[in-house]
Amino acid sequence: MGGSASEFWKTPEQKEREGKRILPKQLDAEDEIAGYASIGDPATSRVPCAGAARRRCVNCPTCQGTGRIPREQERQLVALIPYGDQRLKPRRTKLYVCLAVTICLLTASLSIFFLFPRSIPVLPAGLNASSVGFNAASTSVYLNLTNVLNITNNNFYWVTVVQLDVEVLHQSLVIGKTTMNTLLKMSPLQSGQIYYTVASTILDSNTYNICTWAKVKVHNVLLHVQGTLTCTYLCHSEQVLFEDYQYVDCRGNATLPPAPP
C-alpha cells in the first residue's frame, strides 16, 4: 500500500528520469543476448550487414557465415591467422638466425682447418750401416746398405705408412732395389723413423779397382738413392717421393753411423 502510494505521488519528471536509468540497461542485456544467439544458433547467425557496413563485410568462404564447420572436416581445415598476429612475429628472430649462421660458419671453418690434408715430409737421415764384399772373378762389389728415413706427420689425424719402394743407382744404373710392406702408424703432429736395407751389386771393374787398390787412400763410391713412400689417411692414399746422394766407403767391411756431437 505504501509502495503504490509513493508511486502515485511522484511527479512526471521523476518518473521520466527513472525510466532513462532503467531502459539502457535493458537494451544492453538484450543486445548481448542477441549477440550470443547469432553465434550459437544457426538460424539466427546469418545476420546481413546493414547500411555502410555492408561494403566492409565478407562471408567466410569455409563456413559461409554460419560460424560452424562440418565435424568430418574438423581435421582437414586450417584456421587463418591475421597477418599482424604476434605469433607470426617471434621474438629475437634475427638473433637466432645470426647465431645459427655463426655456428655453421665456425663449424665449417674448424672442420676445414683440422681435416685439410697437409704435406708429409720424408727426409733421408743418411747411412746407418753398411757391409762390403768383393768378387775377384767377376770384378764386382757387393754392398748391403742400411739407411734411415725421418717421417713427420703434420696433420691432425693418424697417418699409416703401408709401403716403401727404394732403388739404389750407381752411374745412372740400378744396382739394387727393395720393397717393404711396413705398417707404421703415426699419431697427429708426431714424427717417426723407418730403417731399410738394400742389397746392391756393382758390376764395374773401375769401381772394383778403386775399392780394392791399397795405394788409394780414399775408397768412396757415390750412390744415388731414390724411393717412394705410400701413406694412407682418411680413406685416402698418397705417395711421397724422396731421394738422397750418399758416399759409401767400399774399402772397409762395415760403416757405422757418425757419433753424435
Q: Mean pLDDT across the chain, nearest whole number?
A: 79
C-alpha span between 203 and 140 (Å, rounded): 5
Which 3-state string (H, E, C) describes 39-102?
HHCHHHHCCCCCHHHHHHCCCCCCCCCCCCCCHHHCCCCCCCCCCCCHHHCCCCHHHHHHHHHH
Which of 87-96, 108-117, 149-158, 210-219 bottoms out in mean pLDDT, i.e. has the lowest? 87-96
- DSSP 8-state assignment for residue 89: S
Rg (CA), the chain: 51
107 pLDDT more than 60: yes
Please write the tens of the pLDDT for every residue from 132-144: 999 989 999 999 9
3-class SS of residue 213? coil
Which fold is adopted by the domain 122-255? Immunoglobulin-like (2.60.40)
- Cell numbers representing residue 104 in the block: 655453421
Please write the tens of the pLDDT for every residue from 36-83: 444 444 444 445 555 555 566 777 777 777 777 788 877 777 777 777
Average pLDDT over residues 253-260: 47
169 pLDDT more than 90: yes
Average pLDDT over residues 161-185: 93
- Per domain, the residue ranges of the chain are 11-80, 83-115, 122-255
C-alpha span between 69 and 193 (Å, rounded): 82
Average pLDDT over residues 23-47: 44
Average pLDDT over residues 226-232: 96
Better pLDDT: 83 or 96? 96
Query: What share of the chain has pLDDT > 70, as a percent?
Result: 74
